[in-house]
Amino acid sequence: MLTMTNVKKRYSEQEVVKGITLHVGRGEAFGLLGPNGAGKSTTISMICGLVPYDEGDIQVDGLSVNRSPYEIKKKIGVVPQDIALYPTLSAVDNLVFWGKMYGLKGAEAKTRALEVLETVGLVERGKNRIETFSGGMKRRINIGAALLHRPELLIMDEPTVGIDPQSRHHILETVKRLNEQGMTIIYTSHYMEEVEFLCKRIAIMDHGQVIASGSMQELCKRLAGGNQLLLDVEEAGPAFVEKLKQLDGVEKVVIPQQSEIHLYVKQGQDMMASIVSIASEEAVKLRQIKLKEADLETLFLQMTGRSLRD
């Protein structure tokens, strides 16, 4: 459904996307992860034809974005991070308006608006103004607006930011159902558990590049060590860190913050006594040691050296 081949984008002298190559299969739910400034938004804008790329090519359903932008926009639905609704209009009127922007005629736009309201579970609120909705309900209508023209590819940029758990659950179940019905999904989020729930394959971006892509199983094989020890320390000096690196079984050491040290290890439980002993030798106050099994967040932190929310 989507193929990107050595795609680059520059703003003046700064190269913000540096030769991205990836593919998303038809009917796939694909996660795109990266910290702020990684180049995700620029990448999404290029896929949608909103921002031209400087090198390479992007194809959606076999059509080049540069050569067939109008045809491609008919195939794509975009759920932006910001709410793109008119607060003083009702939910139905908002959906009808956006349906007409997609080229739907009067009766068809109204019919699709009602169908989409059912999809997002807000039929009973269709006549109410958007300004009376909760944040979660607004986001559900925001998703509905992207579905009006029956897109083949749905791109979702942080669709659950700042909402209540019930609305978040409803959105995730709606997205999963759409994917099961055959819609291709590209999903970006700061919540690792959402990506793990929805997506079978993932790409991790950092500094304008895709630094890893594949299934969860494939990516976790790249972890240095199978587990992670999280140390909460006070004033850890270089000598303490160096001794940790020398411990047998420590594959990698990452320091995301001054008071945090993350050790990637083979057998975490067996190493705790040694860590406590080293802390005592170096007069380091060790407030807590926590063992964490490998997951997507562990992988992301190890590859980028920072948390997804940084």
- The tens digit of pLDDT for each residue in 67-115 reads 998 999 999 999 998 999 999 999 999 999 999 999 999 899 999 999 9
Residue 175 vs residues 187, 270, 303: alpha-carbon distances, Å:
9, 42, 28
- Highest mean predicted confidence (pLDDT) among 154-168, 174-188, 272-286: 174-188
237 confidence band (pLDDT: 50, 70, 90):
confident
**Which residue(s) pair with 254 in the sheet?**
262
- The tens digit of pLDDT for each residue in 124-171 reads 999 999 999 999 999 999 999 999 999 999 999 989 988 888 889 999
Two tokens, residue 118: 């059912």
Q: What is the set of domains in the chain, with CATH numbers?
A: 2-220 (3.40.50.300), 227-293 (3.30.70.100)
- The tens digit of pLDDT for each residue in 53-71 reads 999 999 999 999 999 989 9
pLDDT exceeds cutoff 70 at 225 = no
Pairwise CA distance, residues 259 & 182, whole Å: 46
Which has the minimum average pLDDT: 42-51, 163-172, 217-226? 217-226
Is 47 within 8 Å of 76 (Cβ atoms)? Answer: yes
Across 267-296, average pLDDT: 83
- Comparing 309 with 145, which gets the higher pLDDT? 145
Q: Is the pTM of this model over 0.85?
A: no
**What is the pLDDT, as a whole number, of residue 222?**
65
Two tokens, residue 158: 């942080």
Pairwise CA distance, residues 101 & 195, whole Å: 30
Is 200 within 8 Å of 28 (Cβ atoms)? Answer: yes
pLDDT exceeds cutoff 80 at 1 = yes
**What is the pLDDT, as a whole number, of residue 131?**
97
**What is the pLDDT, as a whole number, of residue 71?**
92
Pairwise CA distance, residues 288 & 44, whole Å: 40
Is 241 within 8 Å of 250 (Cβ atoms)? Answer: no
255 confidence band (pLDDT: 50, 70, 90):
confident
pLDDT exceeds cutoff 90 at 220 = no
Q: What is the rounded average pLDDT for all residues in the chain? A: 89
pLDDT exceeds cutoff 80 at 189 = yes
Amino acid of residue 240: F
**What is the pLDDT, as a whole number, of residue 95?**
97
pLDDT exceeds cutoff 80 at 300 = no
